[in-house]
Amino acid sequence: MNLHLPQSVESKAELSQLMMVPRLIITPQSNRPVMGIVQDTLTAVRKMTRRDVFIEKCDFMNLLMYLPSWDGHIPQAAIL
């Protein structure tokens, strides 16, 4: 098993630039995204956006905790 570590400050800087995730999402060759939504994500989005789906409060709170801009206020439910 091999382990490769950057030896100098220049190589550390180069490695940090090469491994940046935002630079790896879009390929420079065709200017298209490398990653895409898979079946599980598409199914979950479809199920959550249907009119007859209600999310439990504990599940909703868990989803809100992932939002960095959430101010702690739970919005009022909008039932159409």
Neighbouring residues of 63: CB distance < 8 A, sequence distance ≥ 6: 55
Confirm whether 80 is domain-assigned.
no
Write out pLDDT tens, residues 15-40.
888 888 777 788 778 888 877 777 88
Confirm whether 26 is domain-assigned.
yes
The rounded Cα 57 to chain-centroid distance in angstroms is 22
Confirm whether 71 is domain-assigned.
no
Question: Residue 65: pLDDT band by 50, 70, 90 thresholds?
Answer: confident
Residue range(s) defining the domain that contains residue 55: 9-64
Task: Tally the domains of the chain.
Answer: 1
Neighbouring residues of 67: CB distance < 8 A, sequence distance ≥ 6: none
Calculate the CA dihedral of residues 59, 62, 63, 64 and round it to 10 degrees: 120
The rounded Cα 67 to chain-centroid distance in angstroms is 11
Number of neighbouring beta carbons within 10 Å of residue 26:
13
Confirm whether 54 is domain-assigned.
yes
Confirm whether 77 is domain-assigned.
no
Average pLDDT rounded to a whole number, residues 45-73: 85
* 80 has pLDDT over 90: no
Predicted TM-score (pTM) of this structure: 0.41
